[in-house]
A and B are shown apart, each in its own frame.
Chain A
Amino acid sequence: MDDRITLAHGAGGSQTSYLIDKVFKKNLSNPFFTADDASVLPRPEGKIAMSTDGFIVSPPFFNGGNIGKLSVCGTVNDLSCMGARPLYLTCSFIIEEGLEISLLEKAVESMAKTAEESGVVIVAGDTKVAGKGQVDKLFITTTGVGEVLPGVDLSGANAKTGDKIIVTGDIGRHGCCILLSRDDYGIDADVKSDCAPLWKSVERALNAVPDIHVIRDATRGGVGTVLYEIAAQSSVGIKLVSSAVPVSPEVRGVCGLLGLEPLYLACEGTLVMITPPDKADLLLETLHKQPYFENAQIIGEVISEDVGHVVTETEVGTETYLPKPGNELLPRIC
Chain B
Amino acid sequence: MNETVKRAVEIIKSSNTRDLRIMEVCGTHTHEIFRMGIRKLLPENIKLISGPGCPVCVTPVDYIDEAVMLALEKNAVICTFGDLVRVPGTSMSLALARGKGAKVVTVYSPLDATKYAEEHPSEEVVFLSVGFETTAPSDCISVKTAVRKNLKNYSVLTSNKTMPGAYRAMKDSADAFLYPGHVHAITGTGILKELLSEGVSGVVTGFTAAEITTALATVLKKTETGKPFFENCYPRVVRDEGNVAAMKIIDEFMEPCDAVWRGIGEIKNSGLKLRSKYADYDARIKFSLPVINGKPNPACRCGQVLQGKILPSDCPLFGRACTPEHPVGACMVSGEGACSAFYLYGGNK
Contact = CB atoms under 8 A, between A and B. Distances in A.
Contacts of A319: 37, 40, 349
A315 B345 contact: no
B349 A316 contact: no
B158 interface: no
Nearest to A327: B325
A318 B40 CA distance: 7
B162 interface: no
Interface stretch (B1-9, B138-146, B258-266, B284-292): B1-9
Q: Decide if the interface of chain A is mainly helix, strand, loop or mixed.
A: loop
Given A321-B344, A323-B344, A315 B36 contact: yes
Interface string A273-314: 000000000000000000000000000000000100101001
Contacts of B9: 316-317
Measured as residues with beta carbon below 8 angstroms from the partner, the interface class of chain A is: 10 to 19
Nearest to A321: B346
B108 A320 contact: no
A326 interface: yes
Contacts, number: 51
Contacts of B160: none
Nearest to B343: A323
B168 interface: no
- Of the listed residues B9, B37, B325, B349, the one surrounded by the most CB atoms of chain A closer than 10 A to its CB is B37
Contacts of A321: 344-346, 349
A182 B108 CA distance: 15
Nearest to B346: A321
Interface in B295-349: 324-325, 335, 344-346, 349
Measured as residues with beta carbon below 8 angstroms from the partner, the interface class of chain B is: 20 to 34
Interface in A113-170: none
B324 A326 contact: yes
Contacts of B247: none
B325 A314 contact: no
Contacts of B253: none
Nearest to B6: A317
Contact of B36 (A306, A314, A324): A314
A60 to B, nearest CB: 24
A185 B108 CA distance: 8
- Of the listed residues A318, A320, A324, the one surrounded by the most CB atoms of chain B closer than 10 A to its CB is A320
B38 A316 contact: yes
21 contacts: A185-B108, A306-B349, A311-B349, A314-B37, A315-B5, A315-B36, A315-B209, A316-B1, A316-B213, A317-B41, A318-B41, A319-B37, A319-B40, A320-B34, A320-B35, A320-B345, A321-B344, A321-B345, A324-B344, A326-B324, A326-B325
Interface of B: 1-2, 5, 9, 34-38, 40-41, 108, 209, 213, 324-325, 335, 344-346, 349
Given A185-B108, A315-B5, 17 more contacts: A306-B349, A311-B349, A315-B36, A316-B38, A316-B41, A317-B1, A317-B9, A317-B41, A318-B37, A318-B38, A318-B40, A320-B34, A320-B35, A320-B37, A320-B345, A321-B349, A323-B345
Closest 5 CB pairs of A and B: A318-B37, A321-B346, A323-B344, A315-B209, A314-B36
